[in-house]
Structure formats: C-alpha cells, structure tokens
C-alpha cells in the first residue's frame, strides 16, 4: 500500500493505466538478470549507471496471472512482485557485480515489503535463470547474511515469465525527476540504505 505522502507520484502513474506494455528485445550475446527490490522506479537507476548494462525494464514477475496490470499487482491479487529486468553485456560486467549492486539497494531484513511500500508485491527477491546464477546468488546471500549477522528475508527463486510494466513506469526517474526525488525521499529509502550499508550504499 502506498503512503499518503506519495499521492502525487502514484496518481500520475495511475492516470496512464490504459497504456500497453512496452516490447522488449535483448541484443545478441547479452544476458539478463531479474531482481525485485520494492518500487521498480527506484531499482532502475542503480543498474542504468553501470558500464555494461544495456537496458533495464520495470515489470512484474513471480505470480500466476498473465499480462498483469499495475493496479492488479499493487493490490496483491496476482502473486507478482514489482521487479526490474537487467539486460547486460557479460563481457563488460558480470552477474556477481549486479548482485552486489542489488543488495546495496534493498533492505534484505524486511519481510513485509521495502521501505514505505508494504505488502507482498513489494517484497525483495532474486530470480535466477540458470544454475550459475543460482550458485552466485547463493554465495552472495551467504556473504550478506554474515555481514549483517541476521537471517535474510530475500529469497532466491527460479525465474519465470517477466511482464514489462506500462510505458509510464519505464525510466520514471529520468522522465519525472522531481516526482521521483519526492517519492524516494518521502519513502525513507536512502536513509535506511545508509543505516544498513554505510559508505557502501549505492543510490
């Protein structure tokens, strides 16, 4: 559930609910990774700035309802979570680095959502596409568990179908910088990341 403080950004997003999902194509030789870290608006920028990341797409995955809409997902009726698909060049950046960026942008101790976004659609997760991604994800999770000294609430799941979100959700931070900053600040995201990761927090 979104908090009242986020009403401006939420209403702007819902106003475009009739748009169709954007098509996605992966360049030859590229690889994909899928991460859920709460609001997908906030998960695109950390990956976009990495050398070797070719594209990011906000979307929905993990549930059973085909072609879900934002209103359905945020209401918790689909089993899906908000997630981001990262298309990257494995010759320039590896999956382990993507994992490191993922962890530094979430609260892996929170099993009820992420930051101000509460409920199942905003829980964190890593969706792995093959045995190598799973091996690296498990190793990174163990390292984070040891660092924080507590059990983690972030599961590692097999990747399923990823549905791109509506066009107005894509590149939201770039297209709506003021609303994005207002949302991110009001959500307390950066404050909590700094508490967890200190100088390693990546915004």
Catalytic site residue from 39, 42, 116, 187: 39
Token pair 């209103």 in the structure block, residue: 71
**pTM (two decimals):** 0.86
**Structure confidence by residue, pLDDT tens digits, 87-138:** 999 999 999 999 999 999 999 999 999 999 999 999 999 999 999 999 999 9
pLDDT grade for 8, boundaries at 50, 70 and 90: very low
pLDDT(5) > 50: no
**Structure confidence by residue, pLDDT tens digits, 43-98:** 999 999 999 999 999 999 999 999 999 999 999 989 999 999 999 999 999 999 99
pLDDT number for residue 201: 75
The CA-based angle 202-34-180, given to 5 degrees, is 45
pLDDT number for residue 25: 64
Question: Is 16 a residue of the active site?
Answer: no
pLDDT(19) > 70: no
pLDDT grade for 200, boundaries at 50, 70 and 90: confident
- Ramachandran region, residue 119 (left: φ > 0; alpha: ψ -120 to 50; beta: rest): left
C-alpha to C-alpha distance for 167 and 158, rounded to whole angstroms: 26
Sketch out the chain's domains with CATH numbers.
29-198 (3.30.1060.10)
Lowest mean pLDDT among 21-25, 31-35, 126-130: 21-25
pLDDT(7) > 70: no
> Element (H or E) spanning 184, and its range?
helix 177-187
């Amino acid at each position: 559930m979104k908090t009242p403080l986020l009403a401006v950004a939420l209403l702007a997003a819902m106003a475009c609910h009739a748009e169709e999902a954007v098509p996605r194509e992966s360049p030859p030789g590229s690889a994909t990774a899928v991460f859920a870290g709460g609001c997908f608006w906030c998960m695109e920028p950390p990956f976009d700035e990495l050398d070797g990341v070719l594209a990011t797409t906000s979307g929905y995955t993990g549930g059973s309802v085909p072609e879900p809409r934002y209103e359905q997902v945020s209401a918790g009726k689909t089993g899906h979570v908000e997630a981001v698909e990262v298309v990257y060049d494995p010759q320039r950046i590896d999956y382990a680095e993507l994992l490191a960026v993922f962890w530094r942008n979430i609260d892996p101790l929170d099993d009820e959502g992420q930051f101000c976004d509460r409920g199942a659609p905003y829980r964190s997760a890593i969706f792995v596409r093959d045995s190598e991604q799973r091996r690296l994800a498990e190793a990174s999770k163990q390292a984070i568990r040891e660092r924080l000294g507590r059990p983690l609430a972030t599961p590692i799941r097999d990747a399923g179908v990823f549905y791109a979100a509506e066009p107005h959700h894509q590149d939201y931070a770039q297209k709506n910088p003021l609303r994005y900053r207002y949302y991110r600040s009001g959500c307390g995201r950066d404050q909590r990341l700094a508490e967890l990761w200190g100088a390693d927090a990546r915004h």
